[in-house]
A and B are shown apart, each in its own frame.
Chain A
Amino acid sequence: MLYYRMVALLLLFLGNISMLTAQSSIRGRVMDAAMEAPVPFANVRMHGTQRGTACDSSGYFHLSLPPGSYRLVISALGYEPSVEEVRVSEKTVAVLNVSLTPAVIAFPDEIVVYGRNRGDAESGWLNATEDVIRNVAGISMIRRANFALEPTIRGMDAGRIGVVIDGMKIFGACVDRMDPVTAYVEVENLEKLEVSKNSLDLTKAANIGGTLNMVTHKADFTRPFLAQSEIGYETVSGLRRYRGIVNYADSLIALRATVSLKKSGDFRAGGGQVITGSGFAKNNYKMDMSLNLGAGQRMEFSFIGDNASNIGYPVLLMDATTTKSQIYRLEHHWMNPFRGVKSFRSMVYFNRIDHWMDDYDRDVTVRPVMRNMYMPMFGKTRTAGVNEEISLVTGGHRLNLILDFYRLTAFADMKMVSVLPGVSDAYLLNLGDVLLYNTAAVVDYSRLLTDRLRLRTNLRIDYSDRDLRNEFGRRQLEAFWETGDMRQTLTSFSFSSAIEYRIGDYGAVQLVVARSERIPSHIENYGFFLYNVTDGYFYTGNPLLKPETSYQAELSMDYSRPEHDFRINVYYNNIRNYISGVIQSEEFKTFANITSAFITGVEVKGSMDVARGLRMHVSAAYTYGQNRELNEPLPLIPPLEGGLGIQWSSDRFRFAIESRFASAQNRIASRTTLEDRTAGFILLNLRGRFRAWDFLDIKLGVENLLDHYYNEHLSVNNLPGRGRNAYFGLNVHSVE
C-alpha cells in the first residue's frame, strides 16, 4: 500500500514537472560557423550547473525549462564554447540557433581571457597579460626586467614566431629587445589569445615556430553603458595601479575607452633581497569605436597608446628612459556580402614605436664591458600594413584568401660618450634606415571529409624587398660583406596541413605536418654592433642570409567533456639553414645560416571537476633543442615546466591555489654562449576574488607564497624572479 502511494506520489511529482516544462522550452540547432554544416551531439547546458541536454546527430536540440532568463553554454568537441542568453516565456518555445566556431583545428590553445561569457567578462582575475600568456603549455617568458616579458613558443622567439595584435605586425624599436609587442596589450584589453604552437596556422605571419595573436577587446554593442574603475597594489615592488574602462553603445555606434596607469618601485626577490634599479612607470590608453553600418557591415577603429619611462634593467647595461608607442587600426567587416561569401574583412593599420635608453644612472667606471663610456641609444620603427581577408563557405568547405602587406622602416643609433677627458665621442648606427616591404598571399582551406574527419590546409607565399638606405649605415656593413648592394629580395614558401579525426563523442586525434620558411628579420640582415648579453659578443647583421626552413610534425590527442578534459601533444621541428651567431673575431659574431637544428617536445594539459564548483588544472611541457652543427643544446630552451592548480568558483566568489614548477635546466649551449645551468623551483600562488556588493569586487592574492628565491632559465643574466607578493585590488563597476 505504502509502495503504491509512493509511486503515485512520485508520478504526481514527475507529472507536475512535465506539466511545467511542457509549457515552455527552448529548441534550436547548432551549426558549424565555418562550414555551414550541423554540429552533431553538442552539449547545451545551463551556466554554472550540470543541467542540460545534447543535440542529435543533425545538430537539433530541445530543452524544457520553466519560464525565465537563462544563460546557456553550448559546447562541442573541437569548438569554442558559446554562451547565449535566452528568455523563455510561459507556454512558448524559444528558438535558439547557435553557430560554433571550430577551435581544435583552428587554435587548439586559444585562451579566452575576458570571454564572451558575461559572468567572466570583467572578472579581471589575473593582474598582467604575461600571467595569461604564461598559462599556455609550451610558452615560456624571457625576463629581462620586472617589465614586459617576451614570449617564446617551444624555445623559439623573435622572428621565428609571429606575435601580433589583432593581426597587426608591430616591430620593436629597441635593438636589445626591451619592447616586446605583448607589452602593448594590458590584461583588461586582452579578450583572447589565439595561439598556434606550430606552423599550421599561416594566416597571421610567416613563422617556423607558431603565432600568438592577441585579440583585443573592442567596443561592445551589447553594453549600452558600462564603467569600471580599479585600483591595485602589489607589495613586492610597491606597484600602484589604476585601471578604468568605459563602454557606451547604441544601435549605431559603440565606444570603449580604457586607461591603465602603473608605477612600480624596485622589486624584491625571494628572501627579501631588493633588486635596485628595477622600477618603472607605464601608461597605456586604448580607444575603440565601432560603427554599425547595417547590412552586415561594421567599421572598427582602434588606437593604443603606450608610454613608459624610467624602466630599470638591472641585469642589462642600460635602462630604458622613455618609450612611446602609437598603434592605429581601421577595419571593415562585411558579413555575407554575396552569396557564398561568408565575410569580407579589410584592415589598414599603422604603428610607430620610439625607444630611448641610456646608462647615465650607472657607474660606468666599474663595469667590464665598455668601461668609462656612456652609451645613449635610440631606436624607432614605423610599420604600415594592409590586410584583406575573404572567407568563402559552401556546405562542408571553407576557403579563406588573405592578402597581407606591410612596410617597415627601422632606425637605431648609439652614441658613446667617455667620462674621461680628451676622448672624442663615438657614434654608430645599429640600424641604418632599413626599408622593408613584405607582401604575402595566404590560402587557408578547410573541409569536412566525413562527420568525423576534418582537413585544414594552409599555403603562404611571402615576398620581401629590403634595403639599407643610410650611406653611413651601408659603409659600416659593406666593411663586413663584400657586396656593393645591401638590397635583398627574398621569397619564402610555406605549406601546412592538418587532419583531425574524432573518436566517439569526446575524443579527437590530430596530425599536423608542415614545411614552413621564414625570411630573416631586418635585424638579422642589417643590425650592427648589437651587444648580446647571452654570449657577450657584438653581432653584425648579414644581408646575404637565406630563409630558415622548418619541417614539422605534430600529433595530438584530445579528450574533452564538460567535467574533465585532457590533451597531449608530441612534436618534432627540424630547422635547416638555422640562423645563429658565428664567431668572426675575438669580440664579434655575425648572423649565419648554420646547417641544422631541431626542437622536439611533449605537452600535456588537463582539467577535471573534483567536486561541485571545484576544478583542478594541470599542465606540463618539455622542450628539447639541439644544434646539430655543433652537437650541443640550443641556447635558451626552457626546462620541463608546468603547473598544477585547483579553483573553486561560485556566483560571488572565486578562489584558486596554483603551483608553478620548473625543473633544473642542465642542457645548455656552453660552447656558443655564456648560458648557465638553472636550478628547478616550485612556486605557490593564492588568488581570490570576491563580489562584496553588486558594484564592488575585491581582489586579493599572494604570489610566491613561500618567498622562494629562484630564477627562470629564460631570465637574462639570472635576474631573480619576484619574491612573495601580496596583491590587492578594488574594482568598482556599474551594475547591470
Chain B
Amino acid sequence: MHFMRFVAVAFVTVLLMAGCSEKSTQPTDNGNPEGSLLKVGEGEDQGYKVELYSEKTFAVGYHRIYVKLTKTSTGALVDRAAVSVVPMMDMGAMKHSAPHEDHEGVSAINGLFHCAVNFIMAGMWELRVNFRDEENGTEGEVVMNINVAAGNMLKSVAGTDGKNYFITLVKPEKPVVGMNDFEITVHYRETMMSFPAVEDLAVKMEPTMPSMGHGSPNNVDPTHQQNGHYLGKVNFTMTGDWRVDLDLARGDSLLHTSFDITIP
C-alpha cells in the first residue's frame, strides 16, 4: 500500500513539474523602437539628432537602414518626415554611389524611417542622410562614415545588352532546410551616381547541390514585386552546400548568375 501511495505521489509530482516547465519565454519589449537593431552611427544637424540602425553589420549586399529622428531640444521623436540615405564611395579618381531606397511616404513606422542601401563594394562608404521635417519644413543632412566588409551576396554581371547589372540576394538571410522565401534585387548602372531598379525581367531559378548533382522540386521562380525586388520560393531538401542558378531574361536571355548558399 505504501508503495502504491509513493507511486501516486511521484506521478502527481512529475505531472506538476511537467506543467511548470511549460512556461513560455516571450522576449520582453523594452519600449525602444529600434528594439534589437544594431546602431551604426549618429549625428546632428539643424537641432535634430539622426540615429542610424541596421539589422546586421555591413557587408557587400542589401541592407535595410532604419533612421530615427529626434529633436535635440526636447528629445521628442519626429514621426512625419521625408528621409533618404544616399551612399557614396570616394575612390580617389572618381566617386560613385550605389542602389538605394528612400523611405516611402513621410510617416515613420513605429518611430523609424525605413531606407535601404545595396553596397556594391567593400570598403569605406559615406552615408548621406537627408531629412525634411514635414511639420516645419526644416531640412538637414548628416554624413556618416561606415566600413563595409566583403561578402558574397551581390553579383555584378554584364548583360548581353552591354549594361552592368547588380543582382543581390536579399532572402533567405538565414536559410533553413525546407521551403524558404527567396528574394533578389536587380539594378543596373546608368551612371556612376544612378542605379535604377530593373523591373521587367523574367527570372528562372534552379537550386542544386553541386556535390551531389541533384536539385529540389517545388521551387517558385521569383517574380517582380516593386523597386527591383523579385520574390520567389526555394526548397532546400537537406543541409549542406547549395547553388542557386538564376537566369534573367528580357525576351532573350540577358544574363546568368548564381549564389552559393550553405545550409547549416
Contact = CB atoms under 8 A, between A and B. Distances in A.
Given A418-B211, A475-B178, A426 B238 contact: yes
A428 B179 contact: no
Given A416-B240, A584-B217, A588-B217, A426 B178 contact: no
A373 B63 CA distance: 37
Given A475-B176, A479-B237, A423 B214 contact: no
Nearest to B235: A479
A372 B211 contact: yes
Contacts of B214: 538, 587
Given A372-B211, A416-B212, A418-B211, A423 B177 contact: no
Interface string B205-231: 000010111111110000000000000
Interface string B71-89: 0000000000000000000
B138 interface: no
Interface residues of B, number: 20
B212 A479 contact: no
A428 B238 contact: yes
Interface in A192-206: none
Contacts of A586: 215
B179 A478 contact: yes
Contacts, number: 75
B215 A426 contact: no
A372 B210 CA distance: 11
B218 A479 contact: yes
A125 to B, nearest CB: 49
A458 to B, nearest CB: 40
Interface string A473-500: 0111111100000000000000000000
Contacts of B240: 416, 423-427
B213 A479 contact: no
A426 B176 contact: no
A524 B239 CA distance: 23
Contacts of B176: 475
A667 B212 CA distance: 34
B262 interface: yes
B241 interface: yes
Contacts of A425: 239-240
B241 A426 contact: yes
A425 B213 CA distance: 15
Given A373-B212, A418-B211, A475-B179, A428 B239 contact: yes
Nearest to A587: B214
A480 B212 contact: no
Nearest to A589: B217
A426 B209 contact: yes
B216 to A, nearest CB: 8
Contacts of B241: 423-424, 426
A427 B209 CA distance: 12
Contacts of B212: 370-371, 373, 416, 426
A49 interface: no
A472 B177 contact: yes
A419 B218 CA distance: 29
Interface string A578-595: 000000111110000000
A373 B178 contact: no
A6 interface: no
Interface in A407-422: 416, 418, 420
A571 interface: no
Given A370-B212, A587-B215, A588-B217, A427 B178 contact: no
B217 A424 contact: no
B215 A423 contact: no
Contacts of B179: 475, 478-479
A587 B237 CA distance: 13
Nearest to B178: A475
Contacts of B237: 428, 476, 479, 528-529
Contacts of B213: 370-371
A431 to B, nearest CB: 14
B99 to A, nearest CB: 31
Interface string A368-382: 001111000000000
B258 to A, nearest CB: 16
A476 B217 contact: no
Interface in B236-251: 237-241
Contact of A424 (B216, B218, B235, B262): B262
B71 to A, nearest CB: 46
B215 A585 contact: yes
A476 to B, nearest CB: 5
Nearest to B238: A428
Contacts of A588: 216-217
B217 A426 contact: no
A420 B213 CA distance: 14
Contacts of A478: 178-179
B232 to A, nearest CB: 13
A540 B214 CA distance: 14
Nearest to B233: A479
Contacts of A427: 238-240
Nearest to A480: B218
A655 B179 CA distance: 64
A518 to B, nearest CB: 27
A428 B217 CA distance: 16
Contacts of A585: 215-218
B117 to A, nearest CB: 30
Contacts of A372: 211
B212 to A, nearest CB: 6
Contacts of A426: 209, 211-212, 238-241
Contacts of A479: 178-179, 216, 218, 235, 237
A680 B241 CA distance: 47
A529 B238 contact: yes
B126 to A, nearest CB: 37
Contact of B217 (A373, A420, A423, A480): A480
B211 A476 contact: no
Given A426-B240, A480-B217, A475 B211 contact: no
A381 B209 CA distance: 30
B211 A420 contact: yes
B139 to A, nearest CB: 48
Contacts of A371: 212-213
A311 to B, nearest CB: 25
A538 B213 CA distance: 13
Contacts of B178: 472, 474-479
A528 B262 CA distance: 20
B238 A416 contact: yes
Contacts of B239: 424-428
B149 to A, nearest CB: 21
A584 B215 CA distance: 12
Interface string B175-200: 01111000000000000000000000
Contacts of A587: 214-215
Contacts of A540: 217
B180 to A, nearest CB: 9
A290 B5 CA distance: 32
A484 B213 CA distance: 29
Contacts of B177: 428, 472, 475-476
20 contacts: A370-B213, A372-B211, A416-B238, A416-B240, A420-B211, A423-B240, A424-B240, A424-B241, A426-B209, A426-B241, A475-B176, A475-B179, A476-B237, A479-B216, A480-B217, A480-B218, A529-B237, A538-B214, A585-B217, A587-B214
Closest 5 CB pairs of A and B: A426-B240, A475-B178, A428-B238, A479-B179, A585-B217
Given A478-B179, A480-B217, A587-B214, 8 more contacts: A416-B240, A420-B211, A425-B239, A427-B240, A428-B239, A476-B178, A584-B218, A585-B218
